[in-house]
Structure 1
């Protein structure tokens, strides 16, 4: 399995599904944390980009990373995924997307949270993917992400004494509370959604994919 933008999924797949995983990240801090979490597991965490990778994989996953790629990189990203995926393999793309096109990023989000991030709408994804992959499944579960974001905030509040000791100040606490609550509201209102797409090579699979629900 290839985990593009690796982290918790690589650990889970190796620990609970006996997967052998190659994880890619461009962040030194993320690579260090992933290696610590995956110690003793068959996970190879690499500080490199996906375009530099060779080989073929049974499964590829990209969770919460595509939003940072930018639309100018759509073709290169999906061409690389198609090259690395075995003919009968499956590619999971997990991404946030707006209910309508949002060409202008929120200035505050762009400055303080996700510099250069961009949420892909459904039309953009379909246009980029339809000539490269078969759509096996497209699952929307935005309301679940609302609950996830509120659980994250509860975790921050519970851990705040330790975070304060680690150097996080009151400004960061306010900023993170505002960000998590605004994000939860965007999913609660269905302004934004969370999608998981399961993709395969055209003509590559002899079996029907059965989506678990």
Structure 2
């Protein structure tokens, strides 16, 4: 039966690969060539077990990552970035050419994505622990010095990772229009960098919440070391359990873990916890395309329960909770640049990651970082920032306040009081 699956894989790849050049050495030793015959930088893949072609045919999104992790698929010169760039770039243009069973599998996943994303509180805790309670030493291998585990803001493509992450925090603070003494809720606070920055630089009083025990302990220790324990506290808490109201709410890189059935819960929390004239900022990955189910490999190995929403799905939930989308910003390619930094840093320290875990884990993590980068480069995926308010006049009418570096007023300067039409006596 090996030749049957090899033939099916050959037909599938022959339809898929139209750009670039891919060579595949089958388990039988046969060499198949796909794509542009004049390509001067072919990627060569070697399949080492008879089962690999069958697995790639039946569930390519899952099997490709698993085969790389297990070593049943290798790439000459370990050109993982080249392989994934070729696959993602071609997959975006060839959805109509998918085989019947691939289309059926995708339709089934799309239809069941609500069930797969039903992240009740207990399930959310397990999902968070799967990823974020890994050794802190692992994250130190590839993140910046502040452990910012989300997209940096690259004002220049060649900015350093630390500069991009610092600029990200500054950009968000400007959108929040912080003033000293304001109360801030940080939903999904990570290892505390954003909360500590808002307290230290802008004089805010911050409550950060996370479901990761490792993150909560690390962030609390950082607050004590920085002398900010009186202004910042970190709680092990789900967003649905928090009480009180806050002048500002910030949530960076957490919405991807909410799950489709709980979008209403999430934005209801933002509405109910935000003061009437408050400002919230939600920073999330999103699709600039119709919604689709989570990649099965990512869902199984990296982010169980994770889901990338479409912009329309986000806005539907925002509108239902009567929140104003005061500003929506799309960050194109910023995460691709961020992930390339992470990928190169991880590769430079992979011996330390191998000492923490094993070879299979190293290959898994490398595949995760590379696949994510190429998705941001070649698929309709980007980072979006949604600035949300309950009141129509909670922020100034023009966006100038966001850009003090262009000669505009700084964010900590008192904003002008806006007068509503009703107060002016107009209708």
State the TM-score, normalized to the length of structure 2. Answer: 0.47
Distance change in 2, residues 1:162/1:17 (3 Å): farther
- Is 1:58–1:90's contact at 8 Å kept on the other side of the alignment? yes
Q: Which moved more, 1:112-121 or 1:39-48?
A: 39-48
Is 1:112–2:295 an aligned residue pair? no
Q: Using the alignment, how far apart are the partners of 1:206 and 1:22 within structure 2?
A: 23
Distance 1:36 1:155 in 2: 25
SS at match of 1:119: coil
Higher relative contact order (CA 8 A, sep 6+): 1
User: 1:142 touches 1:190 (CA, 8 Å); kept in 2?
Assistant: no
Q: For residue 46 of structure 2, what is the aligned residue in structure 1?
A: none
**Deviation readout 1:171-209 (Å, 9 max, x if unpaired):** 111111111111111111242111011111134627436
Say whether 1:25 aligns with 2:215. Answer: no
Q: 1:202 aligns with which of 369, 376, 391?
A: 391
Aligned length: 212
SS of 1:208's partner is: coil
Query: Among residues 252, 269, 272, which one is paired with 1:63 in the alignment?
Result: 252
Q: Aligned pair in 2 of structure 1 residues 204, 212: CA closer, same or farther (>3 Å)?
A: closer
CA distance, structure 2, for counterparts of residue 75 and residue 54 of structure 1? 17
Equivalence for 2:325: 135
Deviation track 1:17-41 (CA, whole Å, cap 9, x = no partner) reads 2221100111111111221222221
Q: Which of 239, 245, 252 lines up with 1:50 in the alignment?
A: 239
Contact 1:136-1:209 at 8 Å conserved across structures: no
Match of 2:265, SS state, is helix
For 2:196, what is the secondary structure of its paired residue?
Answer: helix
Q: Which runs of 5+ in 2 are unaligned?
A: 1-183, 404-427
* Cα distance in 2 between the residues matched to 1:37 and 1:209: 37
Contact conserved, 2:376 with 2:382, CA < 8 A, in 1? yes
Partner Cα separation in structure 2 for residue 209 and residue 180 of structure 1: 37
Matched, 1:176 2:176: no
Partner Cα separation in structure 1 for residue 324 and residue 393 of structure 2: 9
Structure 1 gap segments, 5+ residues each: none
1:170, CA displacement in angstroms? 1.7
Change (3 A) 1:27 1:170: same
- Structure 1 residues 139 and 14, CA gap change in structure 2 (3 angstroms): same
Between Structure 1 and Structure 2, the one with more helix by share is: 2
Cα distance in 2 for residues equivalent to 1:138 and 1:185 = 24
Name the structure 2 match of 1:37. Answer: 222
Contact kept? 2:326, 2:395, Cα under 8 Å? no
The one-character-per-residue Cα deviations of 1:90-126 (angstroms, maximum 9, x if unpaired) are 1101110112234322111110001011111011111
Match status 1:89 vs 2:274: no
Q: What is the SS of the residue equivalent to 2:349? A: helix
Comparing 182-191 with 113-122, which one deviates more in the overlay?
A: 182-191
Deviations 1:133-191 (CA, angstroms, capped at 9, x unpaired): 111111111301100011111222333343334x2222111111111111111111242
Rg comparison, structure with higher value: 2
Map of 1:7-22 to 2, 5 A cutoff?
7=190, 8-22=193-207
